[in-house]
Amino acid sequence: MAVHASNRRRLERAALIGVLAREVVNFTRYWRSTTFSSTVEPTIYLLAFGLGFGALVPRADGLDYVQFVGTGTVATAVLFSSVFPGMYETFIKGEFQRTYDAILAAPVDTEELVTAEALWIAARAGTYSCMPLVVSMAFGLHPSWGMLTVPFIGFVTGFGWALFGILVAAVFRLIENFNYIISIVVTPLFLTAGTYFPISALPKWAQMVANVNPLYHCVQLVRHAVFGFDGPVDLFHLGTIAVFDLTCWWLAVRRMERRLID
């Protein structure tokens, strides 16, 4: 285990840039497979639901079903490209490769390590979030200026989910135990995000879950970005995601400190 103590102020830019630069260099070695899996899977969901169910359910919440699913699938792309790397990549680097021991031996502390890792995953998630919109435009979704904000929405949401994944990796001792979180937490939140059907069609208890689901707020922000923002409502959605981000950051840093530092 790494032993690291520092009286430096937190989140120094040089330390963050150093960790980010390392991730960028490493990413050049495996970017093709990561990009393929992070963009193709949500696209398959989009085509399956949008074109398959779209023939049976022409409209949802006043939108063509392909448009409804296309904008909702952005959140799916963000989720898949943030929470899973946050869990699995963090666990592998910490337990098998011992990468974090080496990083913490440098003038980098846990806050900087966790923050930089989450920022890098979030940047990827924000980029991958554009793919469902590109596919949707091929099936009739009209471009709008608000779409330019979608990478930012994906980044902010992906930051929180990356931190959630890092938190999970810090808590569990066995990588096989991630299946519990995927089944009990990630999948229900994925299904109650309003991606493939309006949450108004869900039971009351499920609607209550959706209203505290950060993925649902991401879906709403993306739809409003494409079809027209709603000022106060969207500030509420963004604020909810920000609270999720800050909560996960605090918890992830604390748990990683206990995991990595004696």
DSSP 103: H
Write the single-letter amino acid at 132: P
Where do we find the tokens 């922000």? 221
Reading the block at residue 159, the tokens are: 């930051």
Average pLDDT for 116-135:
92
pLDDT one-digit tens code per residue, 60-117 = 888 888 888 888 889 988 999 999 999 999 999 988 888 998 898 888 899 999 999 9
In a domain? residue 147: yes
Residue 251, domain extent = 13-260
39 located within any domain: yes
Q: With CA atoms as reference, report the closest residue to 19 among 82, 105, 97.
A: 105
In sequence order, the 6+-apart residues with CB closer than 8 A to the CB of 130 are 74, 150, 151, 154
State the chain's maximal CA–CA distance in angstroms. 62
Residue 6 lies in a domain: no
- Give yes or no for a contact between 181 and 83, defined as CB atoms under 8 angstroms apart: no
Coil vs helix vs strand at 261: strand
The answer as to whether 253 is a domain residue is yes
Number of domains composing the chain: 1
Read off the DSSP letter of residue 87: I
Q: Which stretch of DSSP H or E encloses residue 123?
A: helix 110-128
Query: Does residue 22 lie in a domain region?
Result: yes
pLDDT at 4: 47
Residue 2 lies in a domain: no
The most confident of the ranges 29-38, 45-54, 88-97 is 88-97
Which of 40, 68, 225, 234 lies closest to 145, judged by CA? Answer: 225
Residue 4, domain member (yes or no): no
Residues 218-243: b if buried by 16+ CB within 10 A, e if exposed = bbbbbbbbbbeeeeeebeebbebbee
Average pLDDT value for the chain: 87
- The residue written with tokens 């960028």 in the block is 24
CA end-to-end span of the chain: 7
One DSSP character per residue, 148-201 reads GGHHHHHHHHHHHHHHHHHHHHHH-SSGGGHHHHIIIIIHHHHHTSSSSS-GGG
> Would residue 8 count as lying in a domain?
no
pTM, full prediction: 0.90
